[in-house]
Amino acid sequence: MTIATITIHQPRRLIVGAGTIGEVGSWAGDAARTLVVATPFTAGFVDRLRLPGSVTVFDAIPGEPDIAIFDAAIEAARRTNPDLVVGVGGGSVLDVAKLVAALWNSDQTLSDVAGPNRVADRSTRLAQVATTAGTGSEAGIRSLITDPGKGNKIAVESPHLIADLAVLDPELTFSLPPAVTAATGIDAMAHCVEAFTNRRAHPMIDDFARMGFRLVGRYLARAVRDGSDTEAREGLMLASYYGGVCLGPVNTAAGHAIAYPLGTLLHLPHGLANAIVFPHVLAFNQPAVPAKTAEVAEALGFGQELSQRDLLGAAHAFCAGLGVEMSLSAHGATEPDLRRYAEDAHAIRRLMDNNPRDMSVDDVLGIYKAAF
Ligand SMILES: [Fe+2]
Protein backbone atom coordinates (compact mmCIF):
# COMPACT_ATOMS: atom_id res chain seq x y z
CA MET A 1 0.00 0.00 0.00
CA THR A 2 1.30 3.47 -0.82
CA ILE A 3 0.95 6.05 1.89
CA ALA A 4 -0.58 9.38 0.98
CA THR A 5 1.63 12.46 1.12
CA ILE A 6 0.89 14.97 3.83
CA THR A 7 1.31 18.67 4.61
CA ILE A 8 0.94 19.91 8.18
CA HIS A 9 0.57 23.53 9.25
CA GLN A 10 1.16 24.43 12.88
CA PRO A 11 1.47 27.78 14.64
CA ARG A 12 4.83 29.47 14.26
CA ARG A 13 5.16 29.53 18.06
CA LEU A 14 3.28 27.48 20.66
CA ILE A 15 3.42 28.31 24.38
CA VAL A 16 2.00 25.77 26.83
CA GLY A 17 1.62 26.08 30.58
CA ALA A 18 -0.10 27.64 33.56
CA GLY A 19 0.02 31.44 33.50
CA THR A 20 1.43 31.70 29.98
CA ILE A 21 -1.34 34.05 28.78
CA GLY A 22 0.86 36.78 30.26
CA GLU A 23 3.51 36.08 27.62
CA VAL A 24 1.34 37.37 24.77
CA GLY A 25 2.25 40.98 25.58
CA SER A 26 6.00 40.52 25.43
CA TRP A 27 5.63 38.50 22.24
CA ALA A 28 3.51 41.30 20.76
CA GLY A 29 6.49 43.64 21.15
CA ASP A 30 5.74 47.03 19.68
CA ALA A 31 2.19 46.34 18.46
CA ALA A 32 0.50 49.75 18.50
CA ARG A 33 -3.13 48.77 17.93
CA THR A 34 -4.53 45.36 18.84
CA LEU A 35 -8.01 44.03 18.15
CA VAL A 36 -9.02 41.32 20.61
CA VAL A 37 -11.84 39.02 19.49
CA ALA A 38 -13.67 37.51 22.46
CA THR A 39 -16.99 36.66 24.07
CA PRO A 40 -18.54 38.69 26.89
CA PHE A 41 -17.02 36.12 29.26
CA THR A 42 -13.52 35.74 27.77
CA ALA A 43 -13.19 39.52 27.51
CA GLY A 44 -12.46 39.20 31.24
CA PHE A 45 -9.06 37.68 30.37
CA VAL A 46 -7.90 40.64 28.26
CA ASP A 47 -5.94 42.35 31.06
CA ARG A 48 -3.95 39.17 31.59
CA LEU A 49 -2.59 39.39 28.01
CA ARG A 50 -0.49 42.42 29.13
CA LEU A 51 -0.75 43.91 25.66
CA PRO A 52 1.15 47.06 24.71
CA GLY A 53 -0.41 49.97 22.81
CA SER A 54 -4.13 50.55 22.39
CA VAL A 55 -6.44 47.59 22.73
CA THR A 56 -9.92 47.32 21.22
CA VAL A 57 -12.12 44.43 22.32
CA PHE A 58 -14.84 43.00 20.08
CA ASP A 59 -16.66 40.70 22.49
CA ALA A 60 -19.89 39.89 20.65
CA ILE A 61 -18.99 36.37 19.47
CA PRO A 62 -21.84 33.89 20.16
CA GLY A 63 -21.64 30.09 20.34
CA GLU A 64 -22.23 29.63 16.62
CA PRO A 65 -20.80 32.63 14.78
CA ASP A 66 -22.70 33.47 11.62
CA ILE A 67 -22.15 35.77 8.66
CA ALA A 68 -23.65 38.81 10.44
CA ILE A 69 -21.27 38.47 13.41
CA PHE A 70 -18.34 37.96 11.08
CA ASP A 71 -19.28 41.17 9.22
CA ALA A 72 -19.56 43.05 12.52
CA ALA A 73 -16.10 41.82 13.56
CA ILE A 74 -14.65 42.95 10.23
CA GLU A 75 -16.21 46.39 10.77
CA ALA A 76 -14.65 46.56 14.23
CA ALA A 77 -11.26 45.73 12.71
CA ARG A 78 -11.62 48.42 10.03
CA ARG A 79 -12.34 51.00 12.75
CA THR A 80 -9.33 49.75 14.77
CA ASN A 81 -6.78 49.43 11.95
CA PRO A 82 -4.94 46.74 13.94
CA ASP A 83 -1.38 45.53 13.52
CA LEU A 84 -2.24 42.54 15.71
CA VAL A 85 -5.38 40.43 16.09
CA VAL A 86 -5.72 38.26 19.21
CA GLY A 87 -8.44 35.64 19.57
CA VAL A 88 -9.28 34.80 23.19
CA GLY A 89 -11.88 32.06 23.40
CA GLY A 90 -13.09 28.72 22.14
CA GLY A 91 -13.44 27.61 18.55
CA SER A 92 -16.09 30.17 17.68
CA VAL A 93 -13.86 33.07 18.67
CA LEU A 94 -10.66 31.66 17.21
CA ASP A 95 -12.37 30.87 13.90
CA VAL A 96 -13.59 34.45 13.58
CA ALA A 97 -10.24 35.89 14.69
CA LYS A 98 -8.28 34.05 12.01
CA LEU A 99 -10.62 35.21 9.25
CA VAL A 100 -10.70 38.78 10.53
CA ALA A 101 -6.90 38.92 10.64
CA ALA A 102 -6.75 37.77 7.02
CA LEU A 103 -9.67 39.69 5.51
CA TRP A 104 -10.16 42.99 7.37
CA ASN A 105 -7.82 44.87 5.01
CA SER A 106 -8.45 42.71 1.94
CA ASP A 107 -10.75 43.08 -1.06
CA GLN A 108 -11.85 39.48 -0.59
CA THR A 109 -15.21 38.74 1.01
CA LEU A 110 -16.19 35.66 2.98
CA SER A 111 -17.85 34.08 -0.05
CA ASP A 112 -14.72 34.77 -2.12
CA VAL A 113 -12.63 32.64 0.24
CA ALA A 114 -15.03 29.76 1.00
CA GLY A 115 -13.41 26.39 0.37
CA PRO A 116 -9.73 25.42 0.33
CA ASN A 117 -6.80 27.70 -0.54
CA ARG A 118 -8.65 30.79 -1.69
CA VAL A 119 -7.39 33.35 0.85
CA ALA A 120 -4.90 35.50 -1.05
CA ASP A 121 -2.71 36.69 1.84
CA ARG A 122 -2.56 37.97 5.40
CA SER A 123 -0.58 40.99 6.52
CA THR A 124 -1.74 41.24 10.16
CA ARG A 125 -0.18 39.16 12.92
CA LEU A 126 -2.42 36.67 14.70
CA ALA A 127 -2.22 35.28 18.23
CA GLN A 128 -4.71 32.65 19.36
CA VAL A 129 -5.34 32.07 23.06
CA ALA A 130 -7.53 29.05 23.73
CA THR A 131 -9.96 29.22 26.66
CA THR A 132 -11.60 25.85 26.12
CA ALA A 133 -10.16 22.42 25.42
CA GLY A 134 -12.21 21.11 22.54
CA THR A 135 -12.00 22.52 19.05
CA GLY A 136 -8.24 22.80 18.66
CA SER A 137 -8.94 25.75 16.37
CA GLU A 138 -5.75 27.44 17.57
CA ALA A 139 -3.70 24.70 15.91
CA GLY A 140 -5.13 24.89 12.45
CA ILE A 141 -5.91 26.62 9.19
CA ARG A 142 -9.67 26.08 9.03
CA SER A 143 -12.54 28.36 10.02
CA LEU A 144 -16.26 27.56 10.09
CA ILE A 145 -18.91 30.27 9.88
CA THR A 146 -22.63 29.47 9.94
CA ASP A 147 -24.73 30.53 6.96
CA PRO A 148 -28.20 30.92 8.51
CA GLY A 149 -29.83 31.22 5.07
CA LYS A 150 -28.62 27.80 4.02
CA GLY A 151 -28.57 26.28 7.52
CA ASN A 152 -25.03 24.98 7.04
CA LYS A 153 -21.40 25.96 7.64
CA ILE A 154 -19.09 27.87 5.35
CA ALA A 155 -15.68 26.20 5.64
CA VAL A 156 -12.64 28.30 4.82
CA GLU A 157 -9.23 26.66 4.77
CA SER A 158 -5.95 28.39 4.03
CA PRO A 159 -2.34 28.42 5.22
CA HIS A 160 -2.85 32.18 5.70
CA LEU A 161 -5.15 31.40 8.64
CA ILE A 162 -2.39 29.81 10.76
CA ALA A 163 -1.51 31.57 14.02
CA ASP A 164 1.83 33.28 14.57
CA LEU A 165 1.40 32.45 18.25
CA ALA A 166 -0.86 29.95 20.00
CA VAL A 167 -1.16 29.82 23.79
CA LEU A 168 -2.45 26.87 25.82
CA ASP A 169 -2.85 28.14 29.37
CA PRO A 170 -4.77 25.62 31.47
CA GLU A 171 -5.73 28.25 34.05
CA LEU A 172 -8.05 29.83 31.48
CA THR A 173 -10.17 26.66 31.52
CA PHE A 174 -10.52 26.36 35.31
CA SER A 175 -13.92 28.02 35.38
CA LEU A 176 -15.51 25.89 32.64
CA PRO A 177 -18.44 24.06 34.22
CA PRO A 178 -18.19 20.25 34.44
CA ALA A 179 -20.79 19.68 31.70
CA VAL A 180 -18.93 21.95 29.27
CA THR A 181 -15.61 20.35 30.21
CA ALA A 182 -17.07 16.92 29.47
CA ALA A 183 -18.68 17.82 26.16
CA THR A 184 -15.72 19.77 24.80
CA GLY A 185 -13.29 17.07 25.93
CA ILE A 186 -15.30 14.48 24.05
CA ASP A 187 -15.28 16.77 21.01
CA ALA A 188 -11.47 16.94 21.15
CA MET A 189 -11.37 13.17 21.39
CA ALA A 190 -13.81 12.87 18.47
CA HIS A 191 -11.45 14.92 16.28
CA CYS A 192 -8.68 12.47 17.08
CA VAL A 193 -10.82 9.34 16.71
CA GLU A 194 -12.48 10.44 13.49
CA ALA A 195 -9.10 11.27 11.95
CA PHE A 196 -7.61 8.02 13.27
CA THR A 197 -10.34 5.83 11.75
CA ASN A 198 -10.65 7.97 8.63
CA ARG A 199 -10.48 6.80 5.02
CA ARG A 200 -7.74 9.41 4.60
CA ALA A 201 -5.88 8.42 7.77
CA HIS A 202 -2.11 8.95 7.74
CA PRO A 203 0.49 7.30 10.02
CA MET A 204 1.83 10.62 11.26
CA ILE A 205 -1.62 11.97 12.06
CA ASP A 206 -2.46 8.62 13.65
CA ASP A 207 0.20 9.30 16.26
CA PHE A 208 -1.11 12.80 17.01
CA ALA A 209 -4.54 11.18 17.33
CA ARG A 210 -3.23 8.53 19.72
CA MET A 211 -1.65 11.19 21.94
CA GLY A 212 -4.97 13.04 21.94
CA PHE A 213 -7.38 10.24 22.79
CA ARG A 214 -5.03 8.77 25.37
CA LEU A 215 -4.87 12.13 27.16
CA VAL A 216 -8.65 12.31 27.15
CA GLY A 217 -8.81 8.81 28.60
CA ARG A 218 -6.34 9.78 31.30
CA TYR A 219 -7.56 13.26 32.23
CA LEU A 220 -11.14 14.05 31.22
CA ALA A 221 -12.84 12.50 34.25
CA ARG A 222 -10.32 14.21 36.54
CA ALA A 223 -10.96 17.64 35.03
CA VAL A 224 -14.72 17.12 35.25
CA ARG A 225 -14.38 16.23 38.94
CA ASP A 226 -11.97 19.04 39.82
CA GLY A 227 -11.97 22.00 37.44
CA SER A 228 -8.75 23.44 38.87
CA ASP A 229 -6.67 20.27 38.43
CA THR A 230 -3.91 21.97 36.45
CA GLU A 231 -2.29 18.78 35.18
CA ALA A 232 -5.61 17.40 33.91
CA ARG A 233 -6.61 20.73 32.36
CA GLU A 234 -3.27 21.01 30.58
CA GLY A 235 -3.57 17.43 29.33
CA LEU A 236 -6.95 18.24 27.83
CA MET A 237 -5.66 21.41 26.18
CA LEU A 238 -2.94 19.33 24.55
CA ALA A 239 -5.51 16.74 23.47
CA SER A 240 -7.52 19.53 21.92
CA TYR A 241 -4.44 20.90 20.16
CA TYR A 242 -3.52 17.45 18.82
CA GLY A 243 -7.10 17.09 17.62
CA GLY A 244 -6.69 20.41 15.82
CA VAL A 245 -3.56 19.06 14.12
CA CYS A 246 -5.57 16.01 13.03
CA LEU A 247 -8.26 18.22 11.52
CA GLY A 248 -5.93 19.91 9.05
CA PRO A 249 -4.68 17.18 6.75
CA VAL A 250 -7.21 14.43 7.55
CA ASN A 251 -10.30 16.00 9.14
CA THR A 252 -13.33 14.43 10.77
CA ALA A 253 -15.92 12.10 9.28
CA ALA A 254 -19.48 10.94 9.94
CA GLY A 255 -19.51 11.88 13.64
CA HIS A 256 -19.10 15.56 12.91
CA ALA A 257 -21.41 15.44 9.90
CA ILE A 258 -24.13 13.98 12.13
CA ALA A 259 -23.43 16.50 14.87
CA TYR A 260 -23.66 19.57 12.60
CA PRO A 261 -27.47 19.63 12.11
CA LEU A 262 -27.80 19.44 15.89
CA GLY A 263 -25.87 22.71 16.02
CA THR A 264 -27.38 24.56 13.08
CA LEU A 265 -31.02 23.40 13.51
CA LEU A 266 -31.38 22.38 17.18
CA HIS A 267 -28.79 24.95 18.38
CA LEU A 268 -26.89 22.54 20.61
CA PRO A 269 -23.32 23.59 21.48
CA HIS A 270 -20.83 21.91 19.16
CA GLY A 271 -19.14 19.81 21.85
CA LEU A 272 -22.43 18.56 23.25
CA ALA A 273 -23.70 17.61 19.79
CA ASN A 274 -20.55 15.60 19.17
CA ALA A 275 -20.67 13.91 22.55
CA ILE A 276 -24.22 12.70 21.88
CA VAL A 277 -23.27 11.29 18.49
CA PHE A 278 -19.85 9.86 19.41
CA PRO A 279 -20.80 6.41 20.86
CA HIS A 280 -23.10 5.62 17.97
CA VAL A 281 -20.59 6.40 15.24
CA LEU A 282 -17.77 4.62 17.07
CA ALA A 283 -19.89 1.47 17.20
CA PHE A 284 -21.22 1.84 13.65
CA ASN A 285 -17.69 2.09 12.27
CA GLN A 286 -16.23 -0.76 14.32
CA PRO A 287 -16.66 -3.46 11.62
CA ALA A 288 -14.74 -1.32 9.09
CA VAL A 289 -11.84 -0.40 11.41
CA PRO A 290 -11.75 -3.05 14.14
CA ALA A 291 -8.10 -2.75 15.22
CA LYS A 292 -8.12 1.03 15.50
CA THR A 293 -11.48 0.99 17.25
CA ALA A 294 -10.04 -1.49 19.75
CA GLU A 295 -7.14 0.89 20.40
CA VAL A 296 -9.57 3.73 21.13
CA ALA A 297 -11.68 1.52 23.38
CA GLU A 298 -8.65 0.44 25.37
CA ALA A 299 -7.36 4.01 25.78
CA LEU A 300 -10.73 5.12 27.11
CA GLY A 301 -10.92 2.20 29.52
CA PHE A 302 -13.78 0.38 27.82
CA GLY A 303 -12.03 -3.01 27.86
CA GLN A 304 -10.95 -5.42 25.15
CA GLU A 305 -12.61 -7.43 22.38
CA LEU A 306 -15.96 -5.73 22.74
CA SER A 307 -18.97 -6.63 20.64
CA GLN A 308 -20.55 -3.74 18.75
CA ARG A 309 -23.31 -3.64 21.36
CA ASP A 310 -20.96 -3.65 24.31
CA LEU A 311 -18.80 -0.98 22.65
CA LEU A 312 -21.85 1.24 22.19
CA GLY A 313 -22.87 0.63 25.79
CA ALA A 314 -19.41 1.39 27.16
CA ALA A 315 -18.97 4.57 25.09
CA HIS A 316 -22.44 5.76 26.04
CA ALA A 317 -21.74 5.06 29.72
CA PHE A 318 -18.42 6.92 29.44
CA CYS A 319 -20.12 10.07 28.13
CA ALA A 320 -23.14 9.84 30.44
CA GLY A 321 -20.83 9.13 33.38
CA LEU A 322 -19.12 12.46 32.71
CA GLY A 323 -22.49 14.15 33.16
CA VAL A 324 -23.47 14.62 29.51
CA GLU A 325 -27.22 14.39 28.89
CA MET A 326 -27.12 11.98 25.96
CA SER A 327 -30.77 12.01 24.89
CA LEU A 328 -31.75 14.20 21.95
CA SER A 329 -35.35 14.43 23.14
CA ALA A 330 -34.13 15.84 26.46
CA HIS A 331 -32.50 18.62 24.43
CA GLY A 332 -35.75 19.51 22.68
CA ALA A 333 -35.55 17.47 19.47
CA THR A 334 -38.82 16.01 18.25
CA GLU A 335 -39.14 12.76 16.33
CA PRO A 336 -40.37 14.41 13.08
CA ASP A 337 -37.21 16.59 13.05
CA LEU A 338 -34.92 13.60 12.72
CA ARG A 339 -35.46 12.94 9.01
CA ARG A 340 -34.44 16.52 8.12
CA TYR A 341 -31.34 16.19 10.32
CA ALA A 342 -30.47 12.90 8.62
CA GLU A 343 -30.81 14.33 5.13
CA ASP A 344 -28.73 17.37 6.02
CA ALA A 345 -26.01 15.31 7.69
CA HIS A 346 -25.87 12.84 4.82
CA ALA A 347 -25.41 15.74 2.39
CA ILE A 348 -22.21 16.94 4.13
CA ARG A 349 -20.11 14.92 1.69
CA ARG A 350 -16.82 16.67 2.59
CA LEU A 351 -17.01 14.75 5.90
CA MET A 352 -19.22 11.77 5.09
CA ASP A 353 -16.88 10.69 2.30
CA ASN A 354 -14.11 10.37 4.91
CA ASN A 355 -16.00 7.82 6.96
CA PRO A 356 -14.51 4.33 6.96
CA ARG A 357 -17.94 2.77 6.51
CA ASP A 358 -20.56 4.07 4.06
CA MET A 359 -23.68 5.47 5.66
CA SER A 360 -27.07 5.77 3.97
CA VAL A 361 -29.62 8.40 4.98
CA ASP A 362 -31.44 5.61 6.83
CA ASP A 363 -28.25 4.67 8.70
CA VAL A 364 -27.93 8.28 9.84
CA LEU A 365 -31.61 8.37 10.77
CA GLY A 366 -31.06 5.17 12.76
CA ILE A 367 -28.31 6.89 14.75
CA TYR A 368 -30.51 9.90 15.55
CA LYS A 369 -33.30 7.53 16.58
CA ALA A 370 -30.96 5.55 18.79
CA ALA A 371 -29.81 8.80 20.39
CA PHE A 372 -33.36 10.13 20.72
FE1 LIG B 1 -15.55 19.27 16.77
Q: Which residues contact 150 (CB under 8 A, 6 or more apart)?
A: none
Ligand 1 centroid, distance to 35 Cα (angstroms): 26
Q: How far is CA 329 from CA 16, 120, 268, 298, in A?
A: 39, 44, 12, 30
Q: What is the pLDDT of residue 1?
A: 60
Query: Contact 63/49 with Cβ under 8 angstroms?
Result: no
Q: What is the pLDDT of residue 153?
A: 84
DSSP state of 152: E
Ligand 1 centroid, distance to 91 Cα (angstroms): 9
> What average pLDDT does the structure give for the chain?
96
Per-residue confidence band for 151, with pLDDT thresholds at 50, 70 and 90: confident
Q: Which CATH number is 81's domain given?
A: 3.40.50.1970
Spatial strand order in the sheet of 165-168: 13-16, 165-168, 125-130, 84-89, 33-37, 54-58
Q: Is the domain of 168 the same as that of 263?
A: no
Query: Contact 14/129 with Cβ under 8 angstroms?
Result: no
pLDDT exceeding 70 applies to what percent of the chain?
A: 99
Q: What is the average pLDDT across 91-118?
A: 97
Residue 186 placed within a domain:
yes
Q: What is the average pLDDT across 283-307?
A: 97
Q: What is the average pLDDT across 14-40?
A: 97
Query: Contact 213/251 with Cβ under 8 angstroms?
Result: no
Residues with Cβ–ion distance below 5 A, ligand 1: 187
Q: Is the domain of 122 the same as that of 207?
A: no
- The answer to whether residue 3 scores a pLDDT higher than 80 is no
Q: Count up the domains in the chain and report the number.
A: 2
Report the SS3 class of residue 63.
Answer: coil
List, for residues 234-268, the tens digit of each pLDDT value.
999 999 999 999 998 999 999 999 999 999 899 99
Ligand 1 centroid, distance to 52 Cα (angstroms): 33
Smallest CA-to-CA distance from 275 within 211, 347, 180 is with 180
Residue 1 placed within a domain:
no
Q: Is the domain of 64 the same as that of 207?
A: no
CA gap 358, 239 in Å, rounded: 28
- The answer to whether residue 372 scores a pLDDT higher than 80 is yes
Q: Is the domain of 108 the same as that of 229?
A: no
Instruction: Tell me the residue range of the domain where 43 lies.
Output: 13-172
Ligand 1 centroid, distance to 320 Cα (angstroms): 18
Ligand 1 centroid, distance to 272 Cα (angstroms): 9
Q: How many CB atoms lie within 10 A of CB 305?
A: 10
Q: Is the domain of 137 the same as that of 191?
A: no
CA gap 243, 164 in Å, rounded: 19
Q: Which among 129, 157, 172 is the end of a domain? A: 172
Residue 6 placed within a domain:
no
Q: Which residues contact 247 (CB under 8 A, 6 or more apart)?
A: 136, 139, 140, 142, 191, 195
